[in-house]
């Protein structure tokens, strides 16, 4: 198993655990989702990466209590909360 496959397996496990323990909008969950998105992209699993990556910025906006979720820039708030 290569590094990207290992990253995907670890990322999926971590994301599932974070969702279960912390909930879908917790920053640890969102960081896990972002890491898994990268691993999926490296493996050429574009559709899965895109699906996960599309929801993550909006979850970040909710987690950071952004005044609006209409802005794609809400993703940046994930790193500055």
pLDDT digits (tens, 9 = 90+) for 29-79: 888 998 999 899 889 998 998 888 777 666 666 656 544 444 445 445 444
Per-residue pLDDT at 57: 62
Per-residue pLDDT at 61: 60
Per-residue pLDDT at 19: 92
Query: How many CB atoms neighbour CB 45 within 10 A?
Result: 16
| Residue 65 DSSP class | T
Q: What is the pTM of this model?
A: 0.69
8 A C-beta contact, residue 18 and residue 32: yes
Q: What is the mean predicted confidence (pLDDT) over 9-27?
A: 91
The domain limits of the chain are 3-77
8 A C-beta contact, residue 30 and residue 59: yes
Q: 59: which residues sit within 8 A by CB, 6+ positions away?
A: 24, 25, 29, 30, 33
Q: 30: which residues sit within 8 A by CB, 6+ positions away?
A: 56, 59, 60, 63, 78
Residue bearing the bigger pLDDT, 74 or 5 = 5
């Amino acid at each position: 198993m290569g590094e990207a496959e290992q990253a995907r397996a670890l990322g999926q496990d971590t994301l599932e655990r974070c969702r279960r323990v912390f909930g879908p909008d917790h920053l640890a969950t969102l960081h896990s989702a972002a890491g898994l998105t990268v691993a999926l992209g490296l493996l050429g699993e574009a559709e899965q990466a895109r699906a996960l990556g599309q929801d993550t910025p909006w979850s970040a906006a909710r987690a950071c209590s952004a005044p609006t979720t209409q802005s794609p820039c809400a993703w940046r708030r994930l790193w500055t909360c």
